[in-house]
Amino acid sequence: MKHQVITLKNSKATLTTYIHDFSEEMKDMTKRKAILILPGGGYQFCSDREAEPIALSYNQAGFQAFVLRYTLHDEGTFEDSLTDAFNALKMIKQNADKWFINPNHIAVIGFSAGGHLAAHLSNHKSLRPNACLLGYPAILTEKTMWPYPTPTVDEKNPPTFIFHTFKDEVVPVAHSLYYAGECDQHNVPFEHHIFNEGPHGLSLATLEVANKRPDMIQPRFQVWLELSIGWLNSVFQ
């Protein structure tokens, strides 16, 4: 496993790698899929609960995984955060051979504020991921609670996987419903899962990431990971 922390150029942002080794004893192994992980935290922090546990889960499924700790609100602007995400994606693309990655099979996944950032990256004018996954994403601009720009969708957005809970009181499910509607409007393939139970910020919804909150353990919500891996494998055929 190649595990390192890379500081992005002209930024304090870091990209942490979780890369499977390539062995000469496994010459028939094909290049791997990759996933760029953008934790949530309202641009106030990058949640550990949505960082390494997510990376290791996708690692186990055979993905090369990367966690971006992007510029936060007190360090810069939203545009700085988006530049970090763009530069991280560009770095993964440029190092695809070195990191044993299929350059056409690179996904981004974002949670909450990270989902907002992932949605903007998926509509970037210069470079976009090949698939986008959004976990309870903050999408809609609200004057007081959420001042960041609403991401747009066009026909070039990548296939998108969205999951949320109906009882999310921090980021209402209306955010996901709106974004799914935009994907439909622009003929972007998408899959949308709305679970009834569970508060905001569930991550994997397991004991490990529950932070001693019983309501953060939601067995029915846990299936999003398996569903997303199956979806990615179908998109990246």
Domain covering 5-23+30-235, topology? Rossmann fold (3.40.50)
Residue 152 to residue 119: CA distance in whole angstroms: 8
Inter-axis angle of helices 113-121 and 78-94, nearest 10: 60
| All structural domains of the chain with their residue ranges | 5-23+30-235
Q: How many CA atoms lie within 13 A of 197 on its CB side?
A: 11
Whole-prediction pTM: 0.97
CA angle 66, 183, 84 (to 5 degrees): 30
Cβ neighbours around 2 below 10 Å, total: 13
> What is the residue-level pLDDT of the chain in tens, covering all 237 positions?
889 999 998 899 999 999 998 777 776 678 999 999 999 999 999 999 999 999 999 999 999 999 999 999 999 999 999 999 999 999 999 999 999 999 999 999 999 999 999 999 999 999 999 999 999 999 999 866 778 999 999 999 999 999 999 999 999 999 999 999 999 999 999 999 999 999 999 999 999 999 999 999 999 999 999 999 999 999 998
Contact 148, 43 (CB under 8 A): yes
